Amino acid sequence: MTFEFSERLKALPPYLFKELDRIRDEVKAKGVDIIDLGVGDPDRPTPPHIIEALKVAAEDKANHQYPVYSGMNAFREVVARVYKRRYNVDVVAETEVCSLIGSKEGLAQFPLAFLNPGDVSLVPEPSYPVYRSGTLFAGGVSVYMPLLAKNGFLPDLGAIEPEALKKAKIIWVNYPNNPTGAAASLEFYAKLVEFAKKHSLIVASDAAYSDVTCLDKPHPSVLEVPGGKDVAVEFHSLSKTYNMTGWRIGWAVGNATLIKGLGLVKSNVDSGVFQAVQLAGMAALEGPQDCVKQMGELYRERRGILVEGLKNAGIEVLKTDYTFYVWASVPKGLTSADFASKLLNQVGIVTTPGNGFGPSGEGYVRFALVQEVPRLKEAAQRLASLKF
């Protein structure tokens, strides 16, 4: 018997990071010493106090049953306190916060709540692929906003076609940005909120990397802008901040109607976050934060090592204080795929070609700083040996 995939599934390109794993494994099987700087998965373990909180919570039989779909009240109250402490934003925990099984599932499911077939989603590119796939699954149409170096990798809101704006329901932003590492200012967010109100748009802000920094304060939040909660929902994750990618815990926060819509979708397709994981997340958010600062400093050290190797090879990089990515220009005469292939096959370094994040990513590759210092020093030496 033959089974055929749905048209929506056929329309999806191969998932970028799954494809990277396949290519890496092929080269590794040939005996090449691989330094994997491709996928953004932190290499350090989750801090001990968070693991201990999970152990205690997992032993409590009260946490063995179905959780509340939108999240434990206690978890949502902690998120509200975080927003007050970090951004001086008042959040109503009961109606303006929803727990997520990692921010990825929230990003993917959110369009199902607000897009009808044919509605437009304004998607930045290069970008995390889930904004596009979530839009596709909801029957929507992605209209792309190029993120260009000349604009600081911010979308040019004035360049969006009027016809697309008439059909648009959601505008996506992601700062600190994956893959570029670029940051946004409160002034940009103020313009974005004004733009969204003028055109009746939902602002969906992916803030997964807001705490991954060597600076003393987090990246700004769109909800800090007066009127931000009128139009915006922000998605957060503990994955990158606390080295918890496998734990699958995050949240959405913002406009109560937007949170309600997301919650209605979730109640029909999943059963919420395991309560023991939510309790561990609370320990992360309200426990000692020195682990976050230490990781920020470590990423700064790692960035310096890799950037030096790239510069010695004649490769330009974007300077940033955020994320654990290095966004590097491809040498003249090569495409993103050519350069990524050259790095893998000639010096055993796995990177992500920029065009995999969208057309405007052509001409760049992304390095993830997810190897220890000795391996990054080795990577820097290998890069320097190429000399472009």
Distance from C-alpha of 367 to C-alpha of 354, rounded to nearest angstrom: 10
Region 343-353: what's the mean pLDDT? 92
Position 17 pLDDT exceeds 80: no
**Average pLDDT value for residue range 94-102:** 97
Q: 271-294 pLDDT, tens per residue? A: 999 999 999 999 999 999 999 999
* Least confident piece of the model among 33-42, 80-89, 236-245, 371-380: 33-42
- State the average pLDDT over residues 330-344: 92
Average pLDDT over residues 356-384: 95
pLDDT exceeds 70 at position 335: yes
Residues 6+ apart with CB under 8 A from 352: 16, 17, 20, 38, 39, 179, 340, 365, 366, 368
- In 3D space, the residue among 226, 223, 282, 318 whose CA is nearest the CA of residue 56 turns out to be 282
3-state class of 234 per DSSP?
A: strand
Dist CA 37 CA 302 (whole Å): 12
> What are the pLDDT digits (tens) for 110-151?
999 999 999 999 999 999 999 999 999 999 999 999 999 999
Least confident of 17-26, 156-165, 201-210, 249-258: 17-26
Indicate the Cα dihedral angle 318, 148, 212, 39, nearest 10°. -90
Domain ranges of the chain: 11-40+290-383, 48-286
Residue 16's pLDDT is 61
Closest CA to 115 of 140, 143, 133, 144: 140
* Mean pLDDT (the chain, rounded): 94
Pairwise CA distance, residues 252 & 96, whole Å? 8
Residue 385's pLDDT band (cuts 50, 70, 90): confident
Cα distance between residue 70 and residue 238, in whole Å = 17
Mean pLDDT of the 20-25 span = 73
Quote the pLDDT of residue 69.
80
3-state SS, residue 268: helix
pLDDT tens digits for range 150-189: 999 999 999 999 999 999 999 999 999 999 999 999 999 9
Q: Do residues 204 and 233 make contact, with C-beta atoms less than 8 angstroms apart?
A: yes
Class of domain 48-286: alpha beta
Confidence band, pLDDT 50/70/90 cuts, at residue 68: confident
* For residue 260, pLDDT beyond 80: yes
Superfamily of domain 11-40+290-383: Aspartate Aminotransferase, domain 1 (3.90.1150.10)
What phi and psi, each to the nearest 5 degrees, are found at residue 149? -60, -35
- pLDDT on residue 31: 78
Per-residue confidence (pLDDT) for residue 310, from 0 to 100: 94
Please tell me the predicted confidence (pLDDT) of residue 92.
Answer: 98
Q: Is the pLDDT of residue 360 over 90?
A: yes
Reported as type and span, the H/E element at residue 189 is helix 186-198
